[in-house]
Chains A and B, each alone.
Chain A
Amino acid sequence: MKRYTLQAQYQADMDCPKEVVMWNYYDHEHLVGTHYKLYDRARVVAERDDWALVYRSKRMPLLPFRTSGIGFQYMDGNTMKSFHKDSIGFFLETEIEFIDLPENRCTIRVTYRVNTHPFFKVFEPFFKRLFEKWFWATWEEDAPMRLRRWKVHNLGFKEFSGVDYINRKIPKPEHLDAGKYVFDPPVRTSSSIKTVQGIERPFTQSLELGYDE
């Protein structure tokens, strides 16, 4: 039977190395934190090295209902490939390309594809609108997170510890060489995200005071 592929592609630049953005994509716990307005539950079903099988429950723009599903992701060189089967029946294939730019910057290019019955070709404008809104909604919440992650890395931040000169109440060292940012999946977790309970967002509404970056 003939098939038709709905496709949409978006890209943007980040003022941080691509490895920081990779970390962001592999940090499943932030879904119900940073994206608490979109995601209400997440669970890592299985994870090893650079692959992960993750359950997510979310509310996408334009859709009047929540959807959930299982997604598998892995790295293929500098491209993350993700396959997501959603509760509404679609099988979404996503490619995220991480492209180096000079001076610790990068370009992120995301391609969404759904291979489906040709009947759904009529919905292509809606598909593009939906994923355009989704891309920018998540981007706007992730971008300050990535920039801050890069910033604290350069101050010598260590996970589950903090910034040494701040913790020790000493002057900031004049020469602080934090080194290259290394992406080393899987990302360490300390919550119940890898258990059958998974994790839930702690609240749905908040008075946001924001970042001061």
Chain B
Amino acid sequence: MSTRPGINAVPERDYPGMSTSPKPQKTTEDPIQPGSDREVDYQYVALLEELKKTGQLTRWINDHDILLYEYKGEIKALSNICRHFGGPVGFHKAKDGVFTCLWHNWRYSCADGSCLSHPGLPLRQYPVKVTDGKIYVDLLG
């Protein structure tokens, strides 16, 4: 019998793009946006220069899995949790404006997160703002 010593669920290999999630970091702005009674919760996700490297990245922030990407010159954020079984929508780099979930190949539009495989099950969109080269998303928006 062969047992790989020390293996403990996570294989001893670095997955491409795997990185340590940044520590949650709030912006200093008031949680109630001027002119709105809606609460906002902007959280730091990544540096703009990190996103520029590949045009797409994913980060877990406060139990939200955020898929951050650049599409037609605009920075957007979607939930990275596939509505099917919870797979990582942004594991593969998007092709032709479409994300394909790694696990079961459900397809989502980069334009708005709409599900092309099963219309009616879109991905949640998050409002994005960029301040001083840092990208934030509103977890309540």
Contacts and interface: CB of A to CB of B under 8 A. Distances in A.
Given A209-B93, A212-B19, A11 B1 contact: yes
B17 A209 contact: yes
B62 interface: yes
A62 interface: no
Interface of B is mostly: loop
Nearest to B13: A140
Name the interface size band of chain A: 35 or more
Contacts of B85: 27, 149, 159
A16 B58 contact: no
A108 to B, nearest CB: 10
Given A161-B83, A166-B124, A209 B11 contact: no
Contacts of B84: 159-160, 190
A152 interface: yes
A33 B104 contact: yes
20 contacts: A11-B2, A11-B3, A33-B101, A145-B102, A146-B9, A152-B81, A152-B86, A161-B121, A162-B79, A162-B83, A163-B81, A166-B124, A172-B63, A191-B104, A207-B54, A209-B16, A209-B90, A210-B15, A212-B18, A212-B59
A53 interface: no
B4 A12 contact: yes
A161 B10 CA distance: 27
Nearest to A201: B105
A9 interface: yes
Contact of B86 (A34, A105, A149, A170): A149
Interface string A141-169: 00111111100110101011111001101
A175 to B, nearest CB: 13
A211 B82 CA distance: 13
A107 B100 CA distance: 31
B90 A162 contact: no
Given A140-B13, A210-B16, A162 B81 contact: yes
Nearest to B41: A171
A212 B60 contact: yes
B7 A208 contact: no
A209 B91 contact: yes
B26 interface: no
Contact of B60 (A10, A190, A213): A213
A32 B104 CA distance: 7
B21 interface: yes
Interface string B83-107: 1111110111101000011111100
